[in-house]
Structure 1
Amino acid sequence: MNQPKIKRDPEGTRRRILLAAADEFAAGGLFGARVDQIARRAETNERMLYYYFGSKEQLFTAVLEHAFGALVDTERSLDLDGIAPVEAMTRLAHFVWDYYRDHPELLRLINNENLHEARYIKGSTRIRELISPVVATLAGILERGAKAGLFRNDVDPLKFYVTLSGLGYYIVSNRFTLEATFGLDFSQADQRGDMVRMNTELLLAYLMRK
């Protein structure tokens, strides 16, 4: 009697491993994550994990590439053309901060990679080729604002993006220590709303021409 053929789904298996690894690495970092637990969560075995990714370190790099790729893909959906510069800058900032709020696992992965002094990002050609569309969008808003006489004209887009990013990054990546030390829980809507308003005013106060 012929046995039914088992339908193979290599892309599905690879994706399950990647998503399971993302959760494990976000929770325990590169060294804390266990290969057997990743395989179990992906409903496969360790042999398949090594078959698709080669090593635990290469899997960690693939997770970083996937996380940064997802961020860039989401950024490409942002359309601020035709919106007044002040409103456009406000929307862009809130877009970035909301992404961090909704994807804390990205920040945990970045924090862990900083412990490794960006060793795996430096080794990834793909990540280094992922140029954030938001930086180009921000540069366009700055140019429009300066031409309209609203914004100062000496703002470096990349450095401004780093500043903007840091304002949203910090209260997510340090949420637990901030709550433990200051009693402020920035996962609560009212607390986060206060910070968003303050950070928005800080950005615009710097940008606006005196």
Structure 2
Amino acid sequence: MAMTEDATAEDTKQMRPAKRDPEGVRRDILTVAMEEFSQNGLSGARIDEIAARTRTSKRMIYYYFGDKEGLYQRVLEEAYRKVRGGESDLELSGLDPVAALDKLCRFTFDHHRRNPAFIRMVMIENIHHGRHMQLSDTIRGLNRPAIEELQSVLKRGQAQGLFRPGIDALELHWQISALSFFNVSNAASFSLIFGDVLFTPEGQEQLSRHVADMVLRYVLRQPDRHDPG
């Protein structure tokens, strides 16, 4: 029996691939590209692999991001956008200064350990001497508020007599980042030399807590030794 025109049209419609949301396609490309770049570096990453895993084409990737280095820079920007967005969600201005600094330290440590691809991307960019960061106004714009927010927490703590004076927000940010970064960047070598006790869930929770404690001990105002109280 011959097919009706309506049936033929319906079958053709079902066979036609569904149109993909362009923004969803870009998000998928960035997600997969983050894995590819963080695992293999800029030179070792393969656009063919990213295209295959996202069910798109090299031509489409280049349409969205220009070229391989353009895609790498966007991935780097998105990595920083995620961590700074997470900091913004902490709403530190609504907390007392001690709780705010403790929460920021814990967030930074926990974000880094749960996102090792971010740490690897930063390490790779340092191998390239920060070339792509220099080209990105977005990255500079994303990171500037992080120092301003920390400065605000410090000023509130100092105004309340909780934090000692003379603490530089940029330096404190460096210290928090260094403690959190090393935990991921050197995990393989450290655990091979000394064992993996610090990299168990319990060990990581303890390190996260102790990093916050160390920072607070550094920042908190010490009582006057001559004060009998």
TM-score under structure 1 normalisation? 0.91
Letter in 2 for 1:112: I
Q: Pick one of 82, 89, 95 that aligns with 1:77.
A: 89
Give 1:66's aligned residue: 78
Residues 107-126 of structure 1: pairs in structure 2 closer than 5 A: 107-126=119-138
**Percentage of matched positions with identical amino acids:** 38
In structure 2, what is the equivalent of residue 134 of structure 1? Answer: 146
8 A contact 1:85–1:144 mirrored in 2: yes
Give the Cα separation in 2 of the matches to 1:173 and 1:17: 25
Change in 2 beyond 3 A, CA 1:209/1:110: same
Structure 1 residue 132 displacement after superposition? 4.7
Give matches, 1:180-199, under 5 Å: 180-199=192-211
* Map 1:8-27 → 2, pairs under 5 A: 8-27=20-39
- Count the aligned residue pairs: 210
Q: What is the TM-score when the length of structure 2 is the normalising length?
A: 0.84
Picking from 80, 88, 94, the partner of 2:106 is 94
Residue 220 of structure 2: aligned partner: 208
The equivalent of 1:159 in structure 2 is 171
Q: Structure 1 residues 32, 149: CA separation in 2 closer, same or farther (over 3 Å shift)?
A: same
**Contact residue 164 and residue 220 of structure 2 kept, 8 A:** yes
Q: Which residue of 2 aligns with 1:53?
A: 65
Classify 1:141/1:42 alpha carbon distance in 2 versus 1 (closer, same or farther; 3 Å): same
Matched, 1:169 2:171: no
Q: Are 1:93 and 1:164, in contact at CA under 8 Å, matched by a contact in 2? A: yes
Query: For 1:73-123, what per-residue CA distance to the aligned partner results, in whole angstroms no more than 9, with x for missing partners?
Result: 222111123433222211111011111122111111101111000111111
Query: Could you tell which deviates more after superposition, 71-80 or 154-163?
Result: 71-80
Instruction: Verify the 8 A CA contact 1:75 1:133 in the aligned structure 2.
Output: no
Q: CA RMSD in A?
A: 1.8
Shift of 1:183: 1.1
Do the aligned residues in 1 keep the contact of 2:87 with 2:104 (CA within 8 Å)? no
* 3-state SS in 2 of match to 1:130: helix
Match of 2:155 among 132, 143, 149: 143
Further displaced range: 143-152 or 59-68? 143-152
After superposing the two structures, state which structure 1 stretch, 71-80 or 60-69, moved more.
Answer: 71-80
- Contiguous gaps of at least 5 residues in structure 2: 1-7, 223-229
1:104 aligns with 2:107: no
Give the residue type in structure 1 aligned to 2:81: G
| Match among 34, 47, 57 for residue 46 of structure 2 | 34
Q: Which amino acid aligns with 2:188?
A: F
Unaligned 5+ segments in structure 1 are none
Distance (Å, rounded) in 2 between the aligned partners of 1:90 and 1:61? 32
Is the alpha carbon distance of 1:143 and 1:14 closer, same or farther for their aligned partners in structure 2, counting shifts above 3 Å?
Answer: same
Find the aligned partners of 2:183 and 2:160 in 1 and give their Cα distance.
33
Mapped partners of 2:35, 2:66: distance in 1: 19
